[in-house]
Amino acid sequence: RRGSGCRGGLRLIAHSLRRFVSTLVVAEHEGGFVKPSSLSALAAAEAIAKDNKVSVLLGGSGPALHKAADHAACSHPLVSEVLVADSEALAHPLAEPWAELLRSVQQKGGYSHVIASSTSFGKNLLPRAAALLDVSPVTDVTAVKEPHVFVRPIYAGNALCTVKYTGEGPCMMSIRSTSFSPATEAMSETKVAPITQVDLSFLSEGKSTWVNLTSQDTERPDLANAPVVVTGGRGLKSAENFKLLEQLAEKLGAAVGATRAAVDAGYVPNDLQVRLLVYHEFCIMPCTAVILASLPPCSTSHLLLQVHCCLPFLNNHSGHSLVVLFMQCVFRPQVGQTGKIVAPDLYMAFGVSGAIQHLAGMRDSKVIVAVNKDADAPIFQVADYGLVADLFEVLDELLKKIPEK
Ligand code: FAD
């Protein structure tokens, strides 16, 4: 009898713990809407507890922020509050002010969980905010087993690890948006979560400055969210040939991806975003930013190499012996461990061998089609449909047979 009493007691404790699950979702927004990746973070909050009390934190400035707040307020029945941090300092994804904001909101709200999506913004922000709160973040969560037990990939996605968060502070986690379908359960028209302005008097002048964002305008869907992705590898052999893939993508309304080898070989069009953050405590001359911003597109390693080559020149001209730069480079077309993680409905790989670093970025795709002339290429081990053929013949036929969109 004592035993069953104890079990009853444990059940009671477990139940009361569940009741105290409350989550802060750090949401990103664009064009007045919460981004799908952040709706995936909401879905993860729901997976933690069905009765989770979720606050959504949105930051930035201008009318688009407030429109996005309205969107968040009616995005899901679990949303109990939308917190709006309206400041120019938060208009760009600079980790320093955002981490300060997150620390302050967490300290006031005492949430049991803080969730961000594993976007470049989330990856930049979460560890910094976790350090300020003195907790260890759990990154790249792909499934929630219990409120503090999660599944996350290790070894470039070759193994899945189940981890338990045992820390005393909030459980700060980033989730892979491709593993959680965006929360879509609509709220009833009468139930809209209240919107509260966050007090930002604590925000101090940060050490980094937003310089600019260079990106190419394209009508194609974003690689991370596109339902169809057409990817080319070194088998395409040239930038000229890569245009064939773009024609196919145009016809299918697909996003274009590439392997790192194809990016490094320069086959892929100039479609990179460089976010350049300059620590101005080192008084870097404006020419520094111009030189770095005008570096040609290249892989991360090449870019860092070029920065290293520039350093002696920069040091001479800035009058300081040390220049510290922090750059975030997002190479939009690269799929894989060091590129984008995608999980579209259809992934078509042409001339891609299927190295593990590439598979790490696309193996969760719903249907994978691979065209490779080598029957032993590892890509066929993950492909649902594999065609051992010359990719140029296949592309030629596809382009002839698929009608214009
Ligand atoms: P290859 O391996 O050279 O394969 C080309 C394929 O094309 C071959 O299988 C060949 O049979 C086929 N082919 C050639 N001609 C034809 C034809 N006419 N018709 C049909 N098929 C043809 N790679 C990534 O992609 N993403 C990453 O994020 C990434 N991160 C990395 C991180 C690290 C730390 C390291 C070390 C490597 C990383 N790589 C990454 C590189 C990765 O290891 C591979 O080198 C790369 O993915 C190979 O690209 P590929 O398949 O285009 O080229």
Contact 342 CB / ligand 1 (< 6 Å):
no
* pLDDT (0 to 100) of residue 26: 97
pLDDT over 60 (residue 197):
yes
The residue whose CA has the least distance to atom 36 of ligand 1 is: 357
What are the C-alpha distances in Å from 360 to residues 64, 354, 365?
35, 10, 11
Whether 363 shows a pLDDT value over 80: the answer reads yes
Instruction: List the residue whose alpha carbon is closest to atom 35 of ligand 1.
Output: 357
Residue 350 is predicted with a pLDDT of 98
pLDDT band at 316 (very low <50, low <70, confident <90, very high): very low
CA-closest candidate to residue 176, choices 222, 144, 208? 144
Does the ipTM surpass 0.95? yes
Q: Is 353 in the pocket of ligand 1 (CB under 6 A)?
A: yes
pLDDT, tens only, 94-109? 889 999 999 999 999 9
pLDDT of 323 over the 90 cut: no
Residue nearest to atom 15 of ligand 1 (CA): 235
Q: Is any atom of ligand 1 closer than 6 Å to the C-beta of 67?
A: no
343-361 mean pLDDT: 95
Higher pLDDT, 101 or 223: 101
Average the pLDDT over 76-95 and give the result: 92
> Which atom of ligand 1 lies nearest, measured to the CA of 258?
25
The pLDDT of residue 72 is: 93
Residue 234 Cα, ligand 1 centroid: separation in angstroms?
A: 6
| The dihedral sign for the CA sequence 10, 13, 16, 18 | negative
Say how many Å lie between the CA of residue 297 and the centre of ligand 1.
19
